[in-house]
Amino acid sequence: MATKQVKTLKIDGMDISSIQGSSILEVAREHDIYIPTLCFVEGLCAVGSCRLCLVEIEGSGKLLPACTTQIYEGMSVITNSEKLLKYRQMILSLMFAERNHTCAVCVSNGHCDLQAMLQILHMDHIKVPYMFPRLKVDATHDRFVMDHNRCILCSACVRVCDEIEGAHTKDIEGRGIKSNIITDFAQNWGDASSCTTCGKCVQVCPTGALSEKGKAVSEQLKRRSFVSYLKSMREDVL
């Protein structure tokens, strides 16, 4: 294996060195610097779609997502500022307003990444009007339920199904505000023959959109560490 080059950079004023090819997020986590994320799942391709991990790069006016941006020599990253907090709060508001997140009656109440993010970003109200769309709940699968009302379209389920399980049962249809998670050819999940019932999608889903049937709210804790473990196994084989 070719030796990897080391890059030196600053994150929030701290001098740091790390390997070329790492993302800002990876390096920040190595050094216990917290950057909020929702669409990022360790072990899956980063897509940069939730926009919560945006950071400032000194000297450039543009904000860049920490999950997809690679470090380079001499860069200086700011992970937290008043401006970033304001933007993150508005983005989270938009996410909450888009669909029907009524936490009190949700299977993930208390262990939902979306809900937790409200506290992390110090939010006590949503800044934009709720949109109240009418959406379906698909309970046709034997073991799992998909509640579109609680989906934030992070695409983690699509990616894990494709990249790790290799089934590609899930995908996104439509565009813009009409985007929607589908199973196979937009069939009921229960009729989707490519689904292996592995349940990986349920585990990576950050909200209560994907849940297991017959489990109490307190039992719906999600486990994600398997993803990077499976990915590293796969890389060792290949």
Partner 1 sequence: MSEMKTIHSLEELEELAEVLREEQKSKSRITVCTGVACSSLGSEELAKELSEESKNLENCEVKKVGCKGLCALGVLVEDDKNMYHSLKKDDAKNLLAMMEGTQESSEYILSKDIPFYSKQKKIVLENAGYIDPDSLDDYIAADGYKALFSAISDMERSEVIDEIKKSGLRGRGGGGYPTGLKWSTVEKAIGDQKYVICNADEGDPGAFMDRSVMEADPHRVIEGMAIAAYAVGANKGYLYIRAEYPLAVKRIKLAIKRAEKFGLLGENICGSGFSLKLDVRLGAGAFVCGEETALLSSIEGKRGTPTPRPPYPAESGLWGKPTLINNVETYANIAPIIRNGGDWYAKIGTESSKGTKVFALTGQIKNSGMIEVPMGITLEQIIFEIGGGMALGREFKAVQTGGPSGGCIPRDHLNLEVDYENLKSVGSMMGSGGMIVMDESSKMVEVAKFFMEFCMSESCGKCVPCRVGTVQMYEILKKISKKDGTRKDLALLEELCDVVRNTSLCGLGQSAPNPVVSTLRFFKEEYENLLVESRCHISISKEA
* The one segment of 63-71, 109-117, 206-214, 226-234 that binds partner 1 by CB under 8 A: 63-71
Nearby residues of 2 by Cβ (< 8 Å), 6 or more positions away: none
Of the pair 16, 47, the CB lying nearest ligand SF4 is at 47
* The one segment of 26-34, 107-115, 171-179, 205-213 that binds partner 1 by CB under 8 A: 171-179
79 binds ligand FES (CB under 6 A): no
Contacts of 118-121 with C-beta under 8 Å, sequence gap 24+, read 118/92, 120/36, 121/36, 121/85, 121/88, 121/89, 121/92
Please, where are the H alpha helices in 56-205? 82-98, 113-120, 156-159, 200-204
Taking CB under 6 A as the criterion, the residue among 12, 29, 48, 63 binding ligand FES is: 48
68 binds partner 1 (CB under 8 A): yes
> In a 3-state reduction of DSSP, which class is residue 201?
helix
DSSP state of 69: P
- Contact present, 23 and 47 (Cβ < 8 Å): no
43 binds partner 1 (CB under 8 A): no
95 binds partner 1 (CB under 8 A): yes
Which does residue 151 touch among partner 1, ligand FES, ligand SF4, none (CB within 5 to 8 A, set by kind)? ligand SF4
Binding interface with ligand FES (CB under 6 A): 37-40, 48-53, 65, 67
